[in-house]
């Protein structure tokens, strides 16, 4: 019976992790075409959208700041999902403790670790975004969009 609950928990956590993946992997649409535009104007608008929105320079190379921002967002997102799963697991253990003090203490430690981890991840994300924005301003560039 205990093995059945373990399998259900693994399936639940895997399902939660898989449900968050599209948020990190789907591209945002770019609406560059306007009715009545010529092909040359459309190409020009697409090139401008790539330079400003996607972080590509005129030479077609990725802006290093956009590259590092993408890495930071991905790592912070994955860590956030892991600590959220840890918090949910701690709540699940507490609900299934059925008055067993050892299980309740284990669940409290898991919840505490999950909440502290989420707070550290959120603080790290805020600090890194502020540092990256300051780097942009220091190099004479202005952030086009917020990095969140």
Handedness of CA 37, 38, 43, 48 (dihedral sign): negative
pTM, 2 dp: 0.53
Q: Kindly report, residue by residue over 86-132, the tens digit of the pLDDT.
A: 999 999 999 999 889 999 999 999 999 999 999 999 998 888 888 87
Closest CA to 135 of 147, 123, 124: 147
More confident residue, 63 or 130: 130
Q: How far apart are CA 94 and CA 106, in angstroms?
A: 8
- Can you tell me which residue has the tokens 């003090």? 101
Structure token digits, residue 48: 């401008």
Q: Is 121 exposed, middle or buried (0-12, 13-18, 19+ CB in 10 A)?
A: buried
- pLDDT grade for 37, boundaries at 50, 70 and 90: low
| C-alpha angle 121-145-49 in degrees, rounded to nearest 5 | 130
Q: What percent of the chain has pLDDT over 90?
A: 26
**Residue 148 predicted with pLDDT over 50:** no
Average pLDDT, the chain: 76
């Amino acid at each position: 019976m205990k093995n059945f609950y373990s399998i259900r928990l693994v399936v639940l956590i895997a399902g939660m992790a898989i449900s968050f993946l599209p948020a990190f992997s789907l591209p945002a649409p770019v609406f560059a075409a306007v009715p009545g535009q010529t092909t040359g104007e459309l190409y020009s608008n697409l090139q401008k959208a790539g330079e400003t929105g996607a972080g590509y320079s005129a030479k077609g190379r990725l802006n290093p700041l956009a590259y590092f921002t993408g890495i930071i967002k991905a790592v912070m997102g994955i860590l956030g999902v892991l600590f959220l799963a840890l918090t949910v697991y701690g709540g699940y253990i507490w609900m299934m403790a059925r008055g067993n003090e050892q299980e309740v203490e284990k669940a409290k430690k898991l919840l505490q670790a999950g909440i502290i981890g989420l707070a550290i991840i959120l603080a790290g994300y805020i600090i890194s975004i502020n540092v990256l924005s300051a780097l942009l301003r220091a190099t004479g560039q202005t952030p086009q969009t917020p990095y969140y």
